[in-house]
């Protein structure tokens, strides 16, 4: 039996299946329902929005053994040298017992999270050894999205629908990486109207706080949350407008950076964690859309699309770029237009990117190395995952741990180890 904190006490949660796609925790004193069907459609929208306007490179790869619930010994299959690039690629596949849709790395381990959709074992989190790819899974009391790693814990965002009030209540789920115990905080971290607003949220962990970027009362807000209770500690209202998919958050060195995500605009917001002060930045040129952020080597990097005009007709060629902003110089820089992927991946002192091809019908993913000075990209690995890489359930498809990048797509996980 899972437990949900409710105020200062605890309440038992009894899951019961209702209509397809829903899971209903019966909380003492309330009739809240937890939505389980958001994940699949939201990730498809996010990836499809990007690939409809940005290009990448075709790829090849191979599969691995099937994993199951519980402790599973790793038997990774090493793929031979890809047609381009010099990375070593190892893969493993997953079966119906555990089908992860999100991946995150923390404290020398890789964690995989399933939403429960299509899993015979329900909502679970898996601990993967980066070296052997052996897997051990643990049950979760609630299925969550937007998984992030914090100090000694993994956090997830759990949306719960209240049909009577026509609202979603967002709770935070905390999984201890040491005790492997999980708790869904009874505190309501955010409330939003039923509808598509729940598909446009983002959760991040930075400077010992959780950060939730979401619509509140019809307008975008950023909430600084306590990682111990999920309670709102500070609220920011003047934040970038959220685009057609998910907003973006990254943090480092006492600051948190925000952007609206794909389909939004060219503006950023920097939050000083020490005092809550904010400062707005904007890319050169009026028409751009930032779709990923990462902090690496003391600088902010971002992926974005350039639009020739505020209103561009269908079929207009858009250019994709890697951008860089340095606090020391205050000057932005950008790459020429080329394949740059969907996700930025800092790995040690190096920067990489990864993403699907320009067509969701081509089952291919590419991993690039990004030169931090010139911002030019070069292919290090080609992957051909099972199924469509633009479809799936998760919101976190790439993580880095040790000397490797882990890419999750469909029923396969790839460990990409670039050459030294």
Using one digit for the tens of pLDDT, what is the confidence trace for 117-126? 555 667 899 9
Overall domain count for the chain: 1
**pLDDT at residue 370 tops 80:** yes
**Domain range for 91:** 2-417
82 DSSP 8-state letter: P
- Strands annotated E in 245-349: 248-252, 255-259, 267-272, 278-282, 288-296, 299-306, 319-325, 332-334, 343-347
**pLDDT tens digits, residue range 349-362?**
899 999 886 666 56
**pLDDT tens digits, residue range 321-340?**
898 988 777 778 888 888 78
Q: What distance in Å separates the CA atoms of residue 145 and residue 157, rounded to the nearest whole number?
A: 5
How many C-beta atoms lie closer than 10 Å to residue 165's C-beta?
A: 11
Please tell me the predicted confidence (pLDDT) of residue 5: 33
Q: At 277, which CATH number?
A: 2.130.10.10
């Amino acid at each position: 039996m899972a437990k949900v904190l409710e105020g200062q006490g605890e309440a038992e949660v009894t899951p019961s299946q209702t209509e397809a796609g829903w899971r209903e925790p019966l909380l003492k004193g309330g009739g809240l329902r937890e939505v389980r069907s958001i994940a699949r459609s939201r990730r498809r929208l996010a990836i499809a929005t990007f690939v409809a306007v940005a290009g990448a490179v075709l790829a090849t790869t191979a599969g691995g053994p099937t994993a199951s619930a519980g402790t599973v010994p790793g038997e990774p299959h090493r793929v031979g040298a890809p047609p381009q690039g010099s990375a070593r690629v190892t893969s493993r596949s997953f079966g119906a017992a555990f089908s992860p849709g999100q991946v995150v790395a923390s404290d020398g381990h890789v964690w995989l999270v399933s939403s429960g959709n299509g899993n015979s074992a329900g909502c679970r989190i898996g601990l993967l050894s980066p070296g052997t790819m052996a897997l051990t899974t643990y049950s979760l009391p609630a299925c969550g999205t937007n998984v992030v790693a914090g100090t000694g814990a993994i956090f997830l965002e759990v949306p719960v629908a209240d049909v009577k009030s026509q609202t979603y209540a967002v709770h935070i789920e905390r999984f201890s990486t040491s005790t492997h115990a999980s708790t869904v905080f009874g505190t309501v971290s955010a409330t939003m109207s039923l509808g598509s607003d729940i598909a446009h949220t983002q959760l991040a962990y930075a400077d010992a706080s959780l950060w939730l970027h979401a619509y509140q009362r019809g307008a975008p807000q950023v909430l600084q949350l306590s990682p111990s209770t999920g309670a709102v500690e500070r609220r920011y209202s003047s934040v970038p407008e959220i685009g057609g998919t998910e907003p973006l958050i990254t943090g480092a060195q006492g600051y948190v950076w925000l952007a609206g995500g794909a389909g939004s605009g060219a503006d950023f917001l920097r939050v000083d964690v020490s005092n809550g002060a904010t400062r707005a930045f904007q890319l050169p040129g009026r028409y751009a859309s930032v779709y990923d952020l990462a902090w690496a080597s003391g600088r902010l990097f971002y992926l974005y699309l350039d639009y020739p005009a505020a209103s561009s007709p269908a079929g207009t060629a858009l250019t994709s770029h890697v951008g860089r902003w340095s606090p020391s110089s205050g000057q932005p820089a950008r790459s020429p237009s080329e394949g740059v992927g969907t996700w930025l991946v800092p790995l040690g002192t190096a920067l990489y990117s990864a993403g699907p091809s320009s067509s969701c019908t081509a089952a291919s993913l590419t991993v690039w190395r990004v030169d931090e000075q010139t911002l030019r990209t070069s292919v290090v690995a080609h992957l051909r995952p099972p199924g469509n890489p633009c479809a799936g359930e998760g919101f976190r498809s790439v993580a880095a741990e040790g000397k490797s990048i882990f890419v999750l797509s469909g029923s396969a996980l790839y460990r990409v180890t670039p050459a030294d």
